[in-house]
Each structure stands twice: as structure tokens, then as C-alpha cells.
């Protein structure tokens, strides 16, 4: 395959490609996209667009994690409530 597919110039500046970091750190899809868009933003003609995309994925991940915290907190409250009723 061509270098444009395997190692495009905007993915391969420096010594490490973004995909290597993403895989090594075992990042999920959203955080992987954040890294990808941040790493390549300075090497494309669409710097602001790539930074906005990174921001979009980061905000999505933040919202996902916040909703998980709310769900976990609700589960703890239900558990504690059930635990109290058992001891009465």
C-alpha cells in the first residue's frame, strides 16, 4: 500500500505516530481521536478544525464519564438503602 495510506505525512511527524501512543496507552475510541487530532493539527491546513474535533471528542468522553459517575452514585445509594432496610 502507498505511504499516503500507511503513513501519511500529517500522521508521521516526529519519532512516534499517534496510533502507536493510542495503542500503547490502550485508549478508548474517543480519547484516541483526541490524541490523533491534536498530534496532526499543526501539520495540516485545518489546524482549527482538528483542534475543534479533538475538543468535541474530549467533551464527549467527559460527558460519558460524568454519566457513569452518576449511575455509579445511584447504584451506591440504592445499595445503601437496601442495606439499611435489611438491618431494621
Q: Is the dihedral of CA 20, 21, 22, 24 positive or negative?
A: positive
Tens-place pLDDT, residues 48-67? 999 999 999 999 999 999 99
- Assess contact for 33 and 57: CB atoms under 8 A: yes
pLDDT tens, residue by residue, 12-25:
677 888 999 999 99
| Residues 76, 88: Cα–Cα separation, whole Å | 19
pLDDT in the model for residue 80 = 75
Give the dihedral of Cα atoms 59, 64, 66, 72; nearest 10 deg. Answer: -170
> In terms of residue numbers, what domain contains 24?
3-87
pTM of the model: 0.72
- For the chain, the domain total comes to 1
Amino acid at each position: 500500500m502507498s505511504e499516503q495510506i500507511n503513513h501519511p505525512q500529517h500522521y508521521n511527524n516526529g519519532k512516534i505516530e499517534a496510533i502507536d501512543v493510542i495503542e500503547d496507552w490502550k485508549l478508548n475510541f474517543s480519547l484516541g481521536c483526541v490524541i490523533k487530532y491534536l498530534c496532526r493539527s499543526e501539520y495540516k491546513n485545518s489546524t482549527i478544525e482538528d483542534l475543534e474535533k479533538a475538543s468535541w471528542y474530549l467533551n464527549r468522553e467527559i460527558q460519558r464519564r460524568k454519566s457513569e459517575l452518576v449511575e455509579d452514585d445511584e447504584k451506591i445509594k440504592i445499595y445503601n438503602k437496601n442495606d439499611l432496610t435489611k438491618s431494621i
